Amino acid sequence: MAEQNNTKEGKLIVFSAPSGSGKTTIVKHLLGLDHLNLEFSISAASREKRGNEINGKDYYFLSAKEFKNKIKNDEFLEWEEVYRDNFYGTLKTEVERIWAKGKNVIFDIDVSGGLRIKRKFPEQTLAIFVKPPSVDELKIRLKKRKTESEDKINMRVAKASAELATAPLFDTIVINDTLEHALEEAETLVSNFVNS
């Protein structure tokens, strides 16, 4: 991969939010807009696949042992142990792969991971926090997904309060009260940033 050494580094667009805020919907919308020249950064995860998830498309699924080895070898741009032996992270090779194609990288990533990327690449990163209208609304959205137990939902809602407190550390906040408005606002922010 010698050609990557002279690759022009692109921009990094970070979307972070509590689970259920709508960030994934916003990111998918932006990926469909060719003029933004975005490619999705696939995270690595040490959890089991859910539903129809595909390795290398939704996540790079690794065992906890494989994940820890990659941490030891400094192969991550950022990583976090979300729950015990439940790791998520961004492989450096993933960002290099996207930049080698001449594209900008878009992340759908947890709050601490998003802030770590912003700290490492302050000038190249636009960090956007997607805020739900309320914690109650967040709980309703998580229940509608029907993918997790009541305990897991309560755990996510508890975590959301801490995550909401980090919102001011991001470059900007998009409040997802109505999806249409949130999509428009996100598109404007990203378009201005990638063209700056």
Task: Report pLDDT digits (tens) over 122-181.
Answer: 999 999 999 988 888 888 888 888 788 888 888 888 888 889 999 999 999 999 999 999
Q: What is the mean pLDDT of residues 69-95?
A: 93
Residue 168: per-residue pLDDT: 96
The class of domain 2-194 in CATH terms is alpha beta
Domain boundaries, the chain: 2-194
pLDDT in tens, 92-128: 999 999 999 999 999 999 899 999 999 999 999 999 9
User: What is the structure's pLDDT at 5?
Assistant: 41
Q: Answer whether 39's CB lies under 8 Å from 98's CB.
A: yes
d(CA 70, CA 85): 14
Three-state secondary-structure class, residue 111: helix
pTM: 0.86
* Coil/strand/helix, residue 38: strand
Report the pLDDT value the prediction gives residue 1, as an integer from 0 to 100: 33
**Tens digits of per-residue pLDDT, 12-50?**
999 999 888 889 999 999 999 999 999 999 999 999 888
In this predicted structure, the answer to whether residue 7 has a pLDDT above a threshold of 60 is no
What is the model's pLDDT at position 3?
37
| Measured CA distances, 110 to 57, 90, 143 (Å) | 18, 11, 20
Residue 8 CB contacts under 8 Å (≥ 6 apart), including other chains: 99, 102
Strands (E), the chain: 12-16, 38-40, 44-45, 60-61, 76-83, 86-91, 104-108, 125-131, 172-175
Provide the pLDDT for residue 171.
98
